[in-house]
Structure 1
Amino acid sequence: MGKNRASVRAMGVGISVALLVAGAAACSSDGEKDTAKAGAAATGASATASPSKGPEAFAAAGYRGLKPGMAKDAGLATGALESAPVSLLDGCTDFVYKGGPAPDPARMAAEAATETRYKDLNAKADAASGKAPAPGGALPPNASAKDAAAAAAGSAAGARESADAAKLIADATQALVDLRFAQEAKDKAYLTTGRVSFAATGLRELVAPAEARTAEGLGAGSTVEALQQAYGAKGLQSAKSGKYVMPVEGQQGWQYEFTVDAGKVTGMAAVNREIKCA
């Protein structure tokens, strides 16, 4: 009887151990499955997640959806620009990027007046230049006093016409200077906010906002030394305007322009100066 009890106890212990081992194995298997599922989910999420991108580089080939030669309506349709123009000077239409400054009516009115005055004086100067008086010539030895008086009157009239023409040309030249100053004032007003200029034939100028950087990481605040190191071998040179310019590879007529002050870049643009506004 004692032996039977011992056998039963031994059998019970054996069954308990077997059940514990089986349970541990099952838990381990379930844990491994959960771990495998979690790993697969993480791998799938990593595979489908899009890589992070840095800020868009400023380039003549395209910036914020705007491209060289793009028509004005197409440029506005990108949604990158404010809809109201900020300048109509010299036949071009300029816009700022979304969130940029509102149009300045006073400055735009002054621009229009300056341009109108230049066109009026230039037309008058051209007309006066085409009416140059004929040379009076020498009087014959037997000329009468009347003939001499008539010749003198003609010479005086010619001199007055020449003086009037000279004054018109001088005024037209000054009006052209005033127009250039107005253009420089406009450029300065949007040097840091950026702007886009359209001619009748399409987009001709992209002025970068202050935060923009080229693919090489250069922009407002960069030193002239950094410009020369990055672009010296690509044709960078100092222009008469005081800017540093560089041709755009693969874009005929286009160039980068870096405005500098005190040895640092204060603004940059991509422009095709061969495209005339008007």
Structure 2
Amino acid sequence: MGKNRGPIRAVGAAVSVVLLVAGAAACGNDDKKDTAKADSTATASAAPTSKAPEAFSAAGYRGLKPGTAKDAGLATGVLEAAPVSLLDGCTDFVYKGGPAPDKTRMDAEAATEARYKDLNAQADAARGTAPAPAGTLPPGASAKDAAAAAAGSAAAAKDSAATAKLMADATKSIADMWVAREAKDKAFLATGRVSFAATGLRELVAPAEARTAEGIGAGATLDALQQAYGAKGLQLAKSGKYELPVEGQQGWKYEFTVDGGKVVGMAVANRDIKCV
């Protein structure tokens, strides 16, 4: 038995070497597989995972387009459910994640509009009931007639003064409405806003990150705006905004608010659609 120990040990050593070599090879193969897998994962990660941002357009933005009814617009899920303004009878909403309704501003809007409607209704009525100018006294009129005429003239003057004040207040209420509208526009210039009339969508105000197909949006220079749309009919309107008619959609226009030589707001709207 002692004579056979040497060969047995040699065989055992040889087997161990073979196993070590095989194990190393297996590990090498596993490393290659892991490396290949890592390379594959890296390649997949490097591949594009998102589409280009949606262009802001009158043809449709975030599922909203001309003709969309208010309920259908809310059903898209892209708008917050609570309105942020009811001024002029339109109902305005913000996009998801936009600012919450400002009760103080909305209450002020409601009070301004109520005063505007009341004063202008009174002014319209007063215009139809204004007293006729007092006539001259006939020759030989009595002192009583003269006194009556004087009283009538005084009453007419008093009525005229009251009417004049009413007209002035009504005119101021119109100016107050313009101020309220401008304050609303400014409040949502960066976040965006969607306005619905009774008949459907009336105005889409773009959020600050939105861009048209030509790359125009908040921050674009006036030169870039004119280069993009000058040949297509872009004009400076009386409102102070730059307007561009939407081809093929009667009444709809792009509106660009420019301040300091740069675009600060962008909308597409149909002002011919009345809120109520």
Give the equivalent residue in structure 1 for 2:137.
Answer: 139
Report how far residue 179 of structure 1 moved. Answer: 1.0
Give the equivalent residue in structure 2 for 1:185.
Answer: 183
Corresponding position: 1:210 with 2:246? no
Distance 1:134 1:233 in 2: 57
Partner amino acid for 1:155?
A: S
Moved more, 141-150 or 131-140: 131-140
Give the equivalent residue in structure 1 for 2:43.
Answer: none
1:1-278 matched pairs, under 5 angstroms: 53-278=51-276
Distance 2:136 2:168 in 1: 31
Residue deviations 1:43-94 (CA, integer Å, cap 9, x gap): xxxxxx9996311100011100001121110110111100000000110100
Partner amino acid for 1:100?
A: G
Distance 2:50 2:69 in 1: 32
Partner amino acid for 2:84?
A: V
Name the Cα RMSD after superposition: 1.8
SS in 1 for 2:73: helix
Partner amino acid for 1:219?
A: G
Give the equivalent residue in structure 1 for 2:37.
Answer: none
Give the equivalent residue in structure 1 for 2:23.
Answer: none
Partner amino acid for 1:86?
A: V
Report how far residue 205 of structure 1 moved. Answer: 0.1
Residue deviations 1:137-165 (CA, integer Å, cap 9, x gap): 11111211101111111111111111111
* Runs of 4+ off more than 6 Å: none
Partner amino acid for 2:206?
A: A
TM-score for the superposition, normalised by structure 1: 0.81
Residue deviations 1:174-224 (CA, integer Å, cap 9, x gap): 011111101100000000000000111111000000000001111000001
Report how far residue 276 of structure 1 moved. Answer: 1.5
SS in 1 for 2:66: coil
Percentage of pairs with the same residue: 80
SS in 1 for 2:202: strand
Give the equivalent residue in structure 2 for 1:42.
Answer: none
Distance 2:251 2:49 in 1: 36
Moved more, 175-184 or 237-246: 237-246
Distance 1:217 1:129 in 2: 52
TM-score for the superposition, normalised by structure 2: 0.81
Distance 2:235 2:151 in 1: 58
**Structure 2 unpaired stretches of 5+:** 1-46
1:243 to 1:132, Cα distance in 2 relative to 1, 3 A: same
1:223 to 1:50, Cα distance in 2 relative to 1, 3 A: closer
